[in-house]
Structure 1
Amino acid sequence: MTLPAARPPNRLRRVLTVAFVTVGLAAAVTVIWLRRDEVVEAMSRLSVLAVVGSFIAGTAASIATMLAWRALLADFGAPLPVGVIGRVFFLGQLGKYLPGSVWPVVAQMELGREYGVRRVSSAAAATLMLVVAAVSGIGVAVAILPLASDGLLAEYRWVALGAIPLLALLHPQVQQWLAALAARLSRRPLDLPRTTLRGVAVAAGWMLGGWALFGLHLHLLVASTCSCPEASLLLNTGIFALAWVSGFLFVIAPAGAGVREGVLVLGLAAVLDPAAALLVALVSRVLLTITDLMLAGAGVLGARGHAKTDLSRKP
C-alpha cells in the first residue's frame, strides 16, 4: 500500500493542534506543580540511581507502548516511520491529562491526517490499542498477583472481570460486527479497516514488554525505599499493571489520577508502610508525567525532519 506524502496542515488544524498541545502541556505540568513540595521531599529520600533508573525504565515502557500502537496502525495499512509515529502518538498522549479517555484518540486522528492516515484508521488503532493495553495488563495482573500477593486481586476482582468483554473486542470478526452495527445505527457507511490476529499479537507482544518495563520502573523505586526481598520485580509488575488498568477503567480521572496511586499504595502495603508506599506512588506519577512531556517535546522536534517526507511504503 502507498501512503500519500505528508500534507501541510491547514491553518485551522494547526491552530487547534497548538491549542490542544498547550492545554495538554499545562495540565501535565500542573500535575507536577501542585505536588512540588511533596515531590522534592520524596526525591530526597530516594537514591539518585534509583530515580534515574526508574525514569529510564518508564521511558522505555512508554516507547514500547508507542510501538504497539504502530504495529496496529501498520496492520491497518499505514506503516509510518518511527519518528512520525512518535510525534502523533506522544503529542496525542497529552490528551490523557484532560478528563475523559477520548482526547488522545481525537488528537491522534487529527495529527495522523497530516501524514495521509485516514481518521477512521487512527481512531480504530487508538481504540484497539487501549483494549490491547487493558487486556494484557489484566492478564499480567491475574497471572502474577495470585502467586505474589494475598488478597490484592480479590479486592479488585471487578477489574479482572472487565477483561471478558474486552477480550472479545480483540477478535477481527467481532470488530467488523460492531462496525456494521454502528453503520446501521448512524445510517452512514463506516469503512472500518480490518485488523488481523497477527497484528493484534504483535501489539500485545510490545505491550507485554511494556508491562515488564513498567514493573522495573516501580521496582527500582520500591527497592530504594526498603531492602525487603518479598518486594520482588514480579510482584511490582503485577501491582503496576493492576493499578494502571484500574485508572484506565475509571475514565473520568485524567490519566487515572488518584485511582492508580490508590491501588499502588494498597498493593505495596504488604511490603511498605503507608507513608513509604505513597511516596513511591507519587514519585512514579511524577516521573511518568515528565516522560510524557519529554517524549512529546521530542515528537515536536522530530517532526521537522519528516514534515516533507514521502511516506510511501511497500506492503
Structure 2
Amino acid sequence: MNGEKLMKRLAHITGTAIFLACLGFIGYYVFTNWPSRIDIRISVLLAAALVYFAAHLTNVLSWLAIVRALGSRLSLKEGGRIVLISQVGKYLPGNVAHHLGRAALAKRMNVPLKVSAISTGIELSSAILASAFVGAAALVILPEIPTSAVVAFVLVLLAGIAIYFSPWKPALWSLPYLTVSTALNCLSFQLVEGSTWALPAFALAWLLGFLVPGAPGGLGVREAALVAMLGPNMAPIIIHRLMTVVVDALVAAVAYLTLKTKKSAGEVSSGSDTLNG
C-alpha cells in the first residue's frame, strides 16, 4: 500500500514538474514570439466560442449516458447542472477536482459514490479513445496521409471493438458523445488558428495535456505541444485558451445560478406548505 502511495506521489511530482517546465517554455515563447498585430476577427472568435460551448452539451450527454447505463436515473437538467458546474474544477492543480466535485453534486441527487467512481473510469477511457480517434481520422482525411495515422486509426477502431466484447462495454455509450465533443473542441481551435493541421494537432495536444498528471486543464502541456507541432505563433494558442476559460466560467456560473434559484424556490414552497399545514 505504501509502495502504491509512493508511486502516486512520484507521478504527481513528475506531472507537476512537467507542468511547471511547460509553463516556463510557454512564457519564454510568449515573450519572444508574441506578434505585434493579432489578425483574429471577433466574428471568428465568437463562432469558435459557440462551437466550444456545444462541446459542453455533448459532455453532459456523455456523462448521463454512463450513469444511466449504470442504473441511476437523472434528468437532462439535473445532469447538465452537475457536469457544467463541476467542470471548472479541472483548472485546479491535480486535474481531479472536477471529478470529485461531480461525485459530490451527484450524491445530492441520489447517485451513489460507487456509480460516480465507475463512471469516472469509463469516461477517462472513452476520452482517450475519442481524442485518439479524432486525431487519427483528421490526419487520414488530409491530402498527405502519414502511415502512422492509418495505423492509429485502425488501432482505435480495434480498441472500440475490444471494448464492445469486454466488461467496459458501457464506455461505448459515452464514446460517440465524447468523439463529437473532441471534434468540436478541435474545430473551435482550428477556427482560431486557421490552418488545416490545427485540428489533428489539437487532438494530440489535448490528449497529452489530459494524460500528464498535475497539469490543471492540460495548462502548459497542451500549449507546449501545439507550439512544437504548429510553430511559434502564440497568439491563436493563447487566445483560444483564454476563450475556453471564459466560456467554462460563464457556463458554470449560469448552471450554478439556475441550481441556486431552483433550490431557493423549493425552500419557499416547502416553507409555504409548512405554514399552511
Aligned to 2:176: 205
Higher helix proportion: 2
Task: Give the 3 Å change call, closer, same or farther, for CA 163–258 of structure 1 in structure 2.
Answer: farther
Contact 1:83 1:302 (C-alpha < 8 Å) held by counterparts: no
**Aligned position for 1:250:** 212
Structure 1 residue 239: Cα displacement? 1.8
Deviations for 1:234-264, whole angstroms, at most 9, x for unmatched residues? Answer: x433222111111000111111111111222
Contact 1:100/1:252, CA 8 A, preserved across alignment: yes
Query: 1:132 corresponds to which letter in structure 2?
Result: S
Alpha-carbon distance in 1 for matches of 2:235, 2:143: 20
1:110-125 → structure 2 map (5 Å cutoff): 110-125=104-119
**What letter is aligned with 1:65?**
N
The alpha carbon displacement at 1:289 in A equals 0.9
Distance change >3 Å, CA 90–CA 152, structure 1 → 2: farther
Q: After the TM superposition, which parts of structure 1 deviate over 6 Å for at least 4 consecutive aligned residues? A: 40-43, 149-154, 166-169
Structure 2 counterpart of 1:281: 237
Q: In 2 relative to 1, CA 128–72 (structure 1 residues): closer, same or farther, beyond 3 Å?
A: same
Describe the shift of the 1:303–1:170 C-alpha distance in structure 2 as closer, same or farther (beyond 3 A).
farther
Are 2:254 and 1:301 aligned? no
Instruction: Could you tell me which runs of 5 or more consecutive residues in structure 1 were left unpaired when the two chains were aligned.
Output: 1-30, 176-196, 224-230, 310-315
**Amino acid across the alignment from 2:252:** A
8 A Cα contact 1:244 1:260, kept in partner: yes
Aligned-pair Cα RMSD in Å: 3.5
Q: Structure 1: which amino acid aligns with 2:245?
A: T
> Which amino acid is the alignment partner of residue 222 of structure 1?
E
What displacement does 1:216 show? Answer: 2.1
Q: Please point out which of 41, 44, 49 is paired with 1:50.
A: 44
Please say if residues 247 and 260 of structure 1, whose CA atoms lie closer than 8 Å, have aligned partners that are also in contact: yes
**Deviation at residue 300 of structure 1 after TM alignment:** 0.6
User: What is the total number of aligned residue pairs between the two structures?
Assistant: 234
Please give the alpha-carbon distance, in whole angstroms, between the structure 1 residues aligned to 2:143 and 2:101.
38
Contact 2:163–2:172 under 8 Å retained in 1: no
> Counterpart of 1:187?
none
Question: 1:10 matched to which residue of 2?
Answer: none
Secondary structure at the counterpart of residue 40 of structure 2? coil
Partners of 2:94 and 2:215 within 8 A in 1: yes
SS in 1 for 2:181: helix
Q: Give the letter aligned to residue 55 of structure 2.
A: A
Give the whole-Å Cα distance in 2 for the aligned partners of 1:42 and 1:133: 37
Q: Is the contact between residue 145 and residue 239 of structure 1 (CA under 8 Å) also seen in structure 2?
A: no
Using the TM superposition, give the Cα deviation of residue 152 of structure 1 relative to its aligned residue in structure 2, in angstroms: 9.0
* Distance (Å, rounded) in 2 between the aligned partners of 1:246 and 1:146: 20
Residues 170/298 of structure 1: CA separation in 2 closer, same or farther (3 Å cut): farther
Assess if the C-alpha contact under 8 Å between 1:134 and 1:163 holds in 2.
Answer: no
| Matching of residues 131-142 of structure 1 within 5 Å | 131-142=125-136
Pick from 61, 71, 88 the counterpart of residue 55 of structure 2. 61
TM-score, normalised with respect to structure 1 = 0.64
- What is the alpha-carbon distance in structure 1 between the residues aligned to residue 193 and residue 117 of structure 2? 37
Separation in 1 of the partners of 2:143 and 2:36?
26
**Percentage identity across aligned positions?**
23
Shift of residue 66, structure 1, vs aligned partner: 2.0
- Out of 84, 87, 95, the residue aligned to residue 93 of structure 1 is 87
Quote the residue 1:266 is aligned against. Answer: 228
Classify 1:108/1:221 alpha carbon distance in 2 versus 1 (closer, same or farther; 3 Å): same
Preserved contact between residue 131 and residue 170 of structure 1 (Cα < 8 Å): no
- How far apart in 2 are the matches of 1:120 and 1:95? 20
Q: Which segment is superposed worse, 241-250 or 258-267?
A: 258-267
Match of 2:19 in 1: none
**Structure 2 stretches of 5 or more lacking a match?**
1-22, 268-277
Q: Of 94, 101, 107, which aligns to 1:107?
A: 101
Decide which of 70, 79, 89 is 1:76's aligned counterpart. Answer: 70
Specify the code of the residue in structure 2 equivalent to 1:215: C
Measure, in 2, the Cα distance between the counterparts of 1:264 and 1:145.
Answer: 15
